[in-house]
Amino acid sequence: MTTMTLPASPALKINRVRVAEYGALLFFAIVMGLPVAFLVISSFNVAPPSKEAVYGLDNWVRAFSDPGTLTALWMSFVLSITYLIPGMLLSIAVAWLIARTDMPGRSAIEFCCWFAYFVPDFPMVLAWILLLDPNFGFLNTAAQALPFVSGPLFNPYSFWGIVWVHLSTGGIWFKVMLLTPIFRRIGATLEEAARVAGANYFTVLRRVSLPVIMPAVLAVAALSFIRGLESFNTELLLGTPVGIYVYATRIYDYTRHEPSAYGEATALGSVFLVVLAILAYFYQRRLKGKRFTVVTGQGYSTLRVKLGKWKYIAFAACAAYIAVMMFLPLGFLILGSVMRRYGFFHLREPFSLIHWQNLFGDPIFFLALKNSLVIAGITALAAVALYSTVGYLLAGRKVKSAPMLEMLTWMPWVVPGILMSLGLLWLFLATPVRSVLYGSVWGIALALMIKESPVCSQAFKAAFLQLGPDLEEAARVSGASWIYTYRRILAPLVAPVAATVGLISFGNALTSISTPVLLYSPQSRPLAILLMEYSFSGEVERAAALGLLITAMVSVMMLVGRKFVRPLTGNL
C-alpha cells in the first residue's frame, strides 16, 4: 500500500510568516520605537533635569531661534551631498570592476576596501592632521623646501579639508562592501546580450547592470546620506577649531552644557525624523510596482566581462586611490604611535616605544580587549539571525506591515548615535532586567545590533528582492514548510550578503564610539571607548597605538572571514 505525503497546509505556512512578522514588529517597536519616542517627548520637557516634567515648546524655540542652528543644519546637508556624489560614483565603478569584470587583483582591492572601512576613523583623522596641518603637517613642511612655495599648501581645517578626509575615512569602502555581493548576483546573460547588441562596457554598466541593482543603489545612497548627516568625529576635530559646525556637533554642544540641555538636543535630533520620512517617500515611490529579479529557478551565470587592455588601467586607478586614501594616512598613523610627541619631527630623538609599553602595561586594556571581543561576537551572530528574517519580510509581497517594519528598522539612524544611546539608556533603566542590560556587554551588544539595523536590513532586503518567487513556490508545491524552504533554499542564496552583514556588524562593534558611550560601565568598557578616553585626555600617542591595535584585529578578522566567505561568493 502506497502512502501519499500531502503538502503542508498553506494556512500553516502563512501563520508562521505572520508569527515572524508580528514578532519582528513587536521587537522593533520596543527596542527602537520606545527610545525614539522618549527622545521626542523629552524635546518638549522644559523642566530642569531631575525635576517633574513640564511640557512646552521652549526647547524648540531656543534651539531654532539661534542662527547657528540653521547654519549647522545647512552645512550638514552640503557636506553630506558633496562627498556622497563622488563616493557613490566611485563605489559603483569599483564594485562592478570587482564583481563583474576580469580586472587583475580584484580580490586584493576588495579586501583593502573591507580593511579600510573597519579602520577606526578617529585615529585616521589624527593621521591626516599629522600629514596636512598648516603648522607641523609633514606634507606642508616638505613643500616649504620648494623655492616657489611660500606658505602651507594644504589645510584640513576647512570645508574641502573635511570633504577630503571623509572620502578617505568613509569614502567608498562602506558602499563597495554592500554593492559588491549584489553585483555578483546579476546573471551574465543580461550583459552578454547587451554586448552582442553592440553596447560597450560603460553602456552595459549604465543601461543593464545598474538598473537591475537599483534597489541596492538607492538604499546604499540613502544610508550613506544619513550617515553623513550624523557624522561627528571628523567635524569635531577639523571643523570646530575654525568655526565650522554641523548638526551633530551642535547637538553635542547641547549635551555638554552644564546642566546638560538634552531638551534642545532632542529637539534638534527630531529633525532627522523629517529627513527620514522624505527619503523613505522617494525611495518607495521609485520602487513602487517594480521587480528586480536576477536569480530564478532557471539558474544564472557569472561569466565576467572582459576588459582587454583596460583591465590594467582599472587596477592601477583602484590601487592609486587606495594607496593615497588609506595606506598613506595609515603609514603616518604608525609613525605617530612611535613618536615621543605627536607631530614634532624636529626633536633630537623623536621616536620611542614608550607609548606601546604604557598601553600594554595598563590593566584596563586587557579587560577592554575581552569586552570588545565578546560584544562583537554577540552582535555579529544576532544581527545575521535577526536581519535575515527581517529582510525576507521586507521583500515579501504579501507582508502587509512591511512599510511599518521598514520604518522601524530605520529608526536608529533617525537621531545621532549619542542621542540613541541616551534613549536606550532610559529604556534599559525602565525595564525589570536592567541589571542584565545596563552597564553590561549584553546591553552594549544589543545597542550596537540595533544601531546597524538600516544597513543590515536593507542589505538582506535587496538580496531577497533579487530572488524570483518561483523558487519558493516550487518548494511549497513539493510540500516543504516555510522554515525548511528558508533554511535550505533561500538562505544559501543570500549567504554572501549574510557573511557581509556578519563582518560589518563585528567590525562596527569593535570601532563604534557614539553608541556605547552612555551605556558602558568600568567593567564593560570596550576598546573603542578606551581609545576615546586616551584621545580626550591628551594621550594622543597612546591613542594612535591603540588605534593601530584595533586595526590589526580588524585585519585578522578580515583574513579569517574571507577564508569562510570565499566558498560562498565563488568568484572573488
Concatenated DSSP letters for 359-379? HHT-HHHHHHHHHHHHHHHHH
> Which of 163-167, 417-421, 554-558 is least confident?
417-421
In the predicted model, is pLDDT for residue 184 greater than 80?
A: no
When pLDDT is cut at 50, 70 and 90, the band that residue 569 belongs to is very low
Higher pLDDT, 295 or 200: 200
Across the range 494-503, mean pLDDT stands at 82
Task: List 351's β-bridge partners, or say none.
Answer: 339
| Count of beta carbons in the 10 Å neighbourhood of residue 431 | 14
Residues 6+ apart with CB under 8 A from 333: 123, 124, 126, 127, 130, 544, 547, 548
> pLDDT tens digits, residue range 423-465?
777 677 666 767 777 788 988 998 888 888 888 888 888 788 7
Residues 6+ apart with CB under 8 A from 12: 481
Which CATH number describes the domain made up of 10-50+59-569?
A: 1.10.3720.10
> pLDDT tens digits, residue range 211-267?
777 777 877 887 788 778 777 778 877 888 888 888 778 877 776 666 666 677 777
Q: What is the DSSP letter of 412?
A: G
SS3 of residue 146 by DSSP: coil
Number of DSSP helices (H) and strands (E) in the chain, helices first: 32, 0
> What are the boundaries of each domain within the chain?
10-50+59-569
In the predicted model, is pLDDT for residue 105 greater than 80?
A: yes
CB 412, CB 46: distance < 8 Å? no
Share of the chain above pLDDT 70, in %: 75
Q: What is the DSSP letter of 29?
A: I
- Cβ burial 203-233 (10 Å sphere, 16+ → b, else e): ebbeebbeebbebbbbbbbbbbbbbbbbbbb
Q: Report how far residue 56's alpha carbon sits from residue 173's, in angstroms, rounded to the nearest whole number.
A: 44
> What is the predicted pLDDT for the residue at 223?
73
When pLDDT is cut at 50, 70 and 90, the band that residue 99 belongs to is confident
> Which of 53-67, 138-152, 154-168, 266-280 is least confident?
266-280
Across the range 79-98, mean pLDDT stands at 90
| Count of beta carbons in the 10 Å neighbourhood of residue 22 | 12
Q: Give Rg (Cα) of the chain.
A: 25
Q: What is the pTM of this model?
A: 0.72
In the predicted model, is pLDDT for residue 374 greater than 80?
A: yes
Share of the chain above pLDDT 90, in %: 9
In the predicted model, is pLDDT for residue 319 greater than 90?
A: yes
Across the range 9-24, mean pLDDT stands at 61
| Count of beta carbons in the 10 Å neighbourhood of residue 512 | 24
> What is the predicted pLDDT for the residue at 193?
66
